[in-house]
Structure 1
Amino acid sequence: MTVTIKDRRRTPIRFPYRAVSWLAPLAVLGIWELAARLGLISQQVLPAPSTVLTKAAELIADGELPENLLASLQRAATGFVIGAVAGLGFGLLVGLSRVAEAFLDRTIQMVRAVPFLAILPLVIVWFGIGEGGKIFLIALGTSIPLYLNTVLGIRQIDAKLLEMTEVVGLNRAEQVRWVVLPGALPSILGGLRLSLTAAWLALVIAETIGADAGLGFMATNAREFLQADVIVLVVIIYAVIGIVCDLITRLLERRLLRWHPTYAKLHA
Structure 2
Amino acid sequence: MKRNSVASQLLPWLIPLIIIILWQIASSLTWISSNVLPAPLAVVSAGVELFESGELMTNLTISLYRATVGFVIGGGIGFILGLLTGLSKTCRLLLDSTIQMIRNIPHLALIPLVIAWFGIDEVSKIFLVAIGVMFPVYVNTLHGIIGVDSDLIEMGKIYQLSKWQLYTNIIFPSALPSILVGIRYALGVMWTTLIVAETIASDSGIGYMAMNAREFMQMDVIVLSILLYAILGKISDLIAKYFEDITLAWRDL
TM-score, normalised relative to structure 1: 0.89
The correspondence for 1:114, drawn from 99, 105, 110, is 105
User: Whose helix proportion is higher, 1 or 2?
Assistant: 2
Q: Aligned equivalents of 2:232 and 2:194: distance in 1?
A: 12
Q: How does 1:1-16 map to 2 (within 5 A)?
A: 16=7
In structure 2, what is the equivalent of residue 199 of structure 1? 190
The correspondence for 1:154, drawn from 145, 148, 153, is 145
In structure 2, what is the equivalent of residue 63 of structure 1? 54
Determine whether 1:78 maps to 2:88.
Answer: no
Q: Aligned equivalents of 1:133 and 1:122: distance in 2?
A: 10
In structure 1, what is the equivalent of residue 82 of structure 2? 91
8 Å contact kept, 1:83–1:142: yes
In structure 1, what is the equivalent of residue 162 of structure 2? 171
In structure 2, what is the equivalent of residue 187 of structure 1? 178
8 Å contact kept, 2:108–2:193: no
Q: Aligned equivalents of 1:186 and 1:117: distance in 2?
A: 28
Deviation (angstroms), 1:210: 3.4
Determine whether 1:24 maps to 2:15.
Answer: yes
Q: Which moved more, 1:181-190 or 1:113-122?
A: 113-122
Q: Between Structure 1 and Structure 2, how many residues are aligned?
A: 251
8 Å contact kept, 1:90–1:147: yes
Q: Aligned equivalents of 1:163 and 1:250: distance in 2?
A: 31
Deviation (angstroms), 1:126: 2.2
Q: Aligned equivalents of 1:34 and 1:155: distance in 2?
A: 53
Q: Aligned equivalents of 1:126 and 1:204: distance in 2?
A: 20
Gaps in structure 2 of 5+ consecutive residues: none
In structure 2, what is the equivalent of residue 232 of structure 1? 223
Q: Aligned equivalents of 2:245 and 2:97: distance in 1?
A: 34
Deviation (angstroms), 1:17: 4.1
Q: Secondary structure of the residue that 1:186 maps to in structure 2? A: helix
In structure 2, what is the equivalent of residue 6 of structure 1? none
TM-score, normalised relative to structure 2: 0.94
Q: Secondary structure of the residue that 2:249 maps to in structure 1? A: coil
Gaps in structure 1 of 5+ consecutive residues: 1-10
Please give the root-mean-square deviation of Cα atoms over the aligned residues, in Å: 1.8
Q: Aligned equivalents of 2:116 and 2:204: distance in 1?
A: 21
State the AA in 1 paired with 2:184: R
Q: Deviations over 1:128-161 (max 9, x none)?
A: 2221111110011111111111111112210011
8 Å contact kept, 2:128–2:197: yes
Indicate the structure (1 or 2) with the bigger Cα radius of gyration: 1
Deviation (angstroms), 1:75: 0.6
Deviation (angstroms), 1:208: 3.5
In structure 1, what is the equivalent of residue 128 of structure 2? 137
Q: Aligned equivalents of 2:214 and 2:95: distance in 1?
A: 41
State the AA in 2 paired with 1:139: A
Deviation (angstroms), 1:171: 2.3
Q: Which 4+ stretches in 1 moved above 3 angstroms?
A: 13-18
Q: Which moved more, 1:251-260 or 1:167-176?
A: 167-176
Q: How does 1:214-253 map to 2 (within 5 A)?
A: 214-253=205-244
Q: Aligned equivalents of 1:86 and 1:232: distance in 2?
A: 34
State the AA in 2 paired with 1:35: A
State the AA in 2 paired with 1:231: I
8 Å contact kept, 2:107–2:131: no
Q: Aligned equivalents of 2:26 and 2:139: distance in 1?
A: 43
Q: Deviations over 1:142-187 (max 9, x none)?
A: 1111111111111221001111222222222221111111001111
In structure 2, what is the equivalent of residue 7 of structure 1? none
Q: Secondary structure of the residue that 2:250 maps to in structure 1? A: coil
